[in-house]
Structure 1
């Protein structure tokens, strides 16, 4: 799945992740069919949203602390493998642990599932004088012998004792490393928890900002007021309004018809986005949403031409459809989204190919949405049509810049096989040469 095609790249880019730990956690998210795992994630997400609603300042506080975290996983791995850490590595563990402990103290009482481990004992090992300052060195309090040698050096300036001092410091590093190795699992757990905290805080903040809602998993997909956040932002930047739509899918084929510019392709991409977000543990862009879990998302939007392989757009599209059908015959149950199947071949063969694919998808009860300009595609499909041009609201100053303002993007279920003939209406509104329009009407 190309995230950019469906607008998931925008979802990723607008996540306020501030640490390397959070970014690594984000990369580890997988498309999941485990309903219990997903429900648990949504439960956690709702808890964090509630936390942010009840205490708005806590978001900034936690993010500031998370942004100061360094990824110490490689250092902890060295510790686990028995290496003696140097002063820089010990310093990094100390700073990490102190920041982690601050976050622990904020969350441990009421939000323990979000909190890292209690690292007070780790800090004590690295800060024997309990100064709790952001620095580290081999303190004299680690060793009576080291303390005595340093006193002598200070009093006598005896340089012959420097080597003894260095050896005693090495001995202390060995002791510290051995003690810390007892906490390597605790440290690893805190690293993982802090990465998750950064991510889920970002997801909760994003859900609030983009007005996302928790999906409900059922045996069908029914969305009310669904929208694509990436496109919504683009339109808002142009002072335009985004029309949200309602759609219900079934285990079988839904066909959407409508003129060009009527939002059919955007509907497909948004359906792919919603499914992907739901099964990756994100709230979804809708007013309400029921989602049927699928094995994967198969999206064909007619832009698969491969110059490297010398394939035409039609050949590439057929190979993509072939891959989808072969997966289905092997038992995979995807959400299939196909835009204008066989639109680049002649209408007779194109319609025949479309009906053939519809038959296969229906025979396997695959949740599918196909957009098309073809009519007479079969009876065993749910037929939706984009309402289209608001002819009663057309004004004289319609042009290519504002014509979208006069299109109703809502979907209505229809019983007949007709395809709306709005292309010529759009042509007229765009002030296309009259001969083109008049001749077309005559041939039509």
Structure 2
């Protein structure tokens, strides 16, 4: 699926907002970014990574800063004239504006290729001399007076007849009849010149199309390299049997936490062709983990580096999600109905001949625990039968045998006396002070650990108490648990 198609869908995991932060410098580069396809060919992905890594090594050198800045400015001077070039390739006659577009592009593209060659030591673009020769030939056609400027008009150098008629036009300014006759002849001659120029340029149309596509792709590659450096993304290795992340992080959330002078906790996680059940306390980051896995896999398969310190990633044919979808609810579907429709679609798409990554957040969370647990268990069994790389988060107690991970939760060195002070200070407050929330978030360990238990953590009341929830509710809930 092209990025432009994804752009029209709800951005549930922040992938599109992440892509929007990629800074291309040309309109054609931006257009190519949104036309990018989800890649499933490991060789194509690897080639993209090799080139990106090569460009990172180049632009990270301080000595290249000036050349890079010049290239970025030059990218900005490249206009999208693809429609004009397609018209030219169809043997249509171009008008003055379209001829100007081609002349301007030839000048700009030639300078762009020179800067790319200078910055990359002529190692990035194949046949660069061929393109430069094409640009020179196009410029010679559209700049017969060798002015060196990119503006265009029907030059007198194209026709001595035109030169004579223009002199006569100036001389006949006092004679309306002769002036009109001369101007009509000028229009006729100028059109003949346009036809001639278009015919002469037609043989270069495909080369110019290739050139504009090359510039767009080069701009996008530089943008990917800059983006990887800016966010400290890593070069992932392609794996065939498992996906492994060391120091996985969510760029958007990490930035927000660090803006508040907090410390973001990166996560290590490994998985293969089997389902994994994730449990843990409320506010433990389970949903964020799924969204980050989605984000990273998508970046990987659109040819971007990934947010981790180190990564080995399996290529999949499709990523499927089940998250809360406000759009479905707006269409009149209840939360449960929308979710079940998503789950049914996922099951129908599962195939032993395709490799999937399936991410399901809080499956059957809106129904009763008994039936909800049965739905989760059944889904796990289906995923196991088809050896699907998948994750399901839940608060239900699930007895189905499967790989289990649990968010570690409240830190071992958590200060109980501080908790007591918070609870006592909140006894007469209707809402939790913000400092309680900050304190709680600082004292959660988001690390994922193996969990052999079929019981989910029971810390909801404890967390509610920390958040300053009404003490009457807390006391009643505790008493009911004791019964």
Distance in 2 between residues matched to 1:15 and 1:310, nearest whole Å? 36
Residue 246 in structure 1 maps to residue 268 in structure 2? yes
Distance in 2 between residues matched to 1:153 and 1:376, nearest whole Å? 92
The verdict on how the C-alpha distance between 1:443 and 1:305 changes in structure 2, with shifts beyond 3 A counting, is farther
Q: Do the aligned residues in 1 keep the contact of 2:383 with 2:390 (CA within 8 Å)?
A: yes
Q: Which residue, 170, 174, 180 being the options, matches 2:195?
A: 174
TM-score by length of 2: 0.86
Instruction: Tell me what 2:219 maps to.
Output: 198
Distance in 2 between residues matched to 1:238 and 1:113, nearest whole Å? 44
TM-score by length of 1: 0.93
- Describe the superposition over 1:85-132 as per-residue Cα deviations: whole angstroms up to 9, x where unpaired: 111111111111111000111223524428693211111111112221
Deviates more, 1:47-56 or 1:88-97: 47-56
Shift of 1:293: 1.1
Instruction: Tell me what 1:220 maps to.
Output: 242
- Describe the superposition over 1:229-268 as per-residue Cα deviations: whole angstroms up to 9, x where unpaired: 1212222333322211011112111111111100000000
Instruction: Tell me what 1:96 maps to.
Output: 105
RMSD: 2.2
Instruction: Tell me what 2:456 maps to.
Output: 419
Distance in 2 between residues matched to 1:430 and 1:106, nearest whole Å? 58
Instruction: Tell me what 1:34 maps to.
Output: 41
Summarize the alignment of residues 63-212 of structure 1 with structure 2, pairs less than 5 Å apart: 63-108=72-117, 109-113=121-125, 117-118=131-132, 119-151=135-167, 159=179, 161-212=182-233
Q: Do the aligned residues in 2 keep the contact of 1:354 with 1:377 (CA within 8 Å)?
A: no
Distance in 2 between residues matched to 1:300 and 1:356, nearest whole Å? 16
Residue 428 in structure 1 maps to residue 465 in structure 2? yes
Distance in 1 between residues matched to 2:470 and 2:244, nearest whole Å? 43
Q: Which residue, 261, 265, 278 being the options, matches 1:256?
A: 278
Where structure 2 has 5 or more consecutive residues not aligned to the other structure, the ranges are: 1-5, 423-434
What is the number of residues matched between the two proteins? Answer: 443
Distance in 1 between residues matched to 2:254 and 2:17, nearest whole Å? 11
Distance in 2 between residues matched to 1:57 and 1:361, nearest whole Å? 53
Instruction: Tell me what 1:311 maps to.
Output: 333
Q: Do the aligned residues in 1 keep the contact of 2:321 with 2:360 (CA within 8 Å)?
A: yes
Distance in 2 between residues matched to 1:150 and 1:435, nearest whole Å? 96
Where structure 1 has 5 or more consecutive residues not aligned to the other structure, the ranges are: none
The verdict on how the C-alpha distance between 1:305 and 1:179 changes in structure 2, with shifts beyond 3 A counting, is closer
Q: Which residue, 397, 400, 413 being the options, matches 1:392?
A: 413
Instruction: Tell me what 2:427 maps to.
Output: none
